[in-house]
Amino acid sequence: MHVAAHLDLDVVAVETEDQVTVLLQFETPKAPAGREPRVEHTAIVVLDRSGSMSGERLDNAKQALLRLVDRLDDRDRFGLVVFDDQAQVLVPADRVSALGRAAVKQRIAAVQSGGSTDVCSGYLRGLQEARRVAGPTGATVLVLSDGMANAGITDPDQLGSLARQATSGRVTTSTIGIGTGYDETILAALAVGGQGNHAFAEHAEGTVVAVAGEIDGLLSKAVQAASVLVRPLSGVATVSVLNDLPAIATGEGVLIELGDFYAAEERRLLLEFAVPACAALGLATVAEIEVRYVELPTLVEHVVSLPVSVNVVPADVAAGRLPSAEVSQEKLLLQVQQAKKRSEEALRYGDIAGARSQLQAAAGVLAAAPMSAETSAEARWVDATLGTLENRDEGYNLKRMRASSSRAVRGYKSRYQGGEVDE
């Protein structure tokens, strides 16, 4: 994996406190051409079979899972947990060869709808199965649901914490919300905490597309257990992580969890440093960054170390500095994601005018920014959402906003999994 660091400002004025932003850029190589050997994978599906899933939604979900099973290798592990008001292990997790591909498909096809929706019980049972069989490459738990959680634990923060704890055992969680009646706060919390993807499939047919995307990612996984350790130096008082990623303070600094990367994936991370006044002219190192990750399929751990240094210059020299356009754009894009979140929060409380105002402010920021492919795409999204605020219901707009921001705020650039699904 290639790792690079870019500063918005690489010079600071002598004897002056300042603030610098570092953009970390991660890029994984393309998947090898041809049928190269790959590591075995573990996929545990947690499927909502509550009453609201009956008919087209459940039929499409089952069709998606049948296709998923077809794409797994005999060495891969698969398991299926179904839930309504209770969870049931329908296919105990094991290698596809041991389960029998035809037998697995028969059990999937036989799933029938049931009662209410206890997402927590289904998810916990899925985690148990994942931990039971996960090999050195971990496991992915994929949750599909169309309903509001009305039984068991329903607090998004608690469920997100469960997903975050599972990542320590290399278990990733992704979620797919079907229709406009599910609880986007719960499914997004599971995906963000579990370092996976959250997709919004308004129509039942989108489930097939979303599940196909998840299996594409799983089978192309190139890096796992990636993390960034930031060690501040030279009296740096604070380090801020601008992306929405799991970060904890350690005795050495700040540890940020990045999770898994797919082949040919680009991701970006923004860090902000409060730089103290430096009395001496010349180069000053303000932090050391250590990136750790496990390469697949070799399972070899790599460590990349990067210094963060600024040049301390006289005040009149520093006065002429210009911030990096690339870093400035990334900061602007994260500001837009925060505006989406504020818009969603206003809408959740019925404040349509407030939601509109936040999006209009974001549109103004984007209009004033230098044009690029990313800013243009965000501007189109904001413009379209201002329209859907007028002609679509609250449920649709809340899910559209959460699906978009939960992906972008984590610095995903090339990953197409997650977000709103277009059939």
Residues 158 and 52 in one domain: yes
Query: Tell me, what's the pLDDT at 188?
Result: 93
Rounded to whole angstroms, how far apart are CA atoms 184 and 50?
17
pLDDT tens digit sequence for 291-331: 999 999 889 999 999 999 999 999 888 888 889 999 999 99
Residues 149 and 283 in one domain: no
Residues 211 and 228 in one domain: no
Beta bridge partners of 102: none
Residues 85 and 149 in one domain: yes
Q: Would 264 be classed as within a structural domain?
A: yes
Amino acid at 236: V
Residues 248 and 104 in one domain: no
Residues 284 and 162 in one domain: no
Residues 312 and 236 in one domain: yes
Query: Tell me, what's the pLDDT at 84?
Result: 84
Query: Tell me, what's the pLDDT at 21?
Result: 95
Residues 85 and 170 in one domain: yes
Q: Would 37 be classed as within a structural domain?
A: no
pLDDT tens digit sequence for 160-216: 999 999 998 899 999 999 998 888 999 999 999 999 999 999 888 899 999 999 999
Q: Would 381 be classed as within a structural domain?
A: yes
CB 26 within 8 A of CB 266: yes
Q: pTM value? A: 0.89
Check which CATH number belongs to the domain holding 13 and give it: 2.60.40.10
Last residue of a domain, one of 201, 219, 237: 219
What is the domain range of residue 401?
325-420
CB 47 within 8 A of CB 61: yes
Break the chain down into helix, strand, coil percent, rounded to 5: 40, 30, 30
Query: Tell me, what's the pLDDT at 197?
Result: 94
Beta bridge partners of 83: 48, 87
Q: Would 48 be classed as within a structural domain?
A: yes
Last residue of a domain, one of 318, 335, 363: 318
Residues 76 and 170 in one domain: yes
Tell me the average pLDDT across 76-99.
93
Task: Tell me: pLDDT of 388 over 70.
Answer: yes
Residues 374 and 357 in one domain: yes
Name the token pair of 70: 């077809």
Rounded to whole angstroms, how far apart are CA atoms 199 and 213?
10
Q: What's the number of CA atoms in the CB half-sphere (13 Å) around residue 164?
A: 16
Residues 275 and 209 in one domain: no
Q: Which residues of 310-322 are buried (b: 16+ CB within 10 A; e: fewer)?
A: bebbeeeebeeee
Tell me the average pLDDT across 254-276.
94
Task: Tell me: pLDDT of 423 over 60.
Answer: no
Tell me the average pLDDT across 45-66.
90
Residues 207 and 280 in one domain: no
Give the CA distances from residue 267 to residues 154, 224, 262, 356, 414, in Å, rounded to whole numbers and listed in that order.
31, 14, 10, 29, 7
Check which CATH number belongs to the domain holding 123 and give it: 3.40.50.410
Sheet-wide strand order for 2-7: 2-7, 18-27, 266-275, 239-241
Task: Tell me: pLDDT of 152 over 70.
Answer: no
Name the token pair of 185: 């706060």
Q: How many domains does the chain have?
A: 3
Last residue of a domain, one of 302, 318, 334: 318
Continuous H helices in 151-271: 156-166, 184-193, 206-219
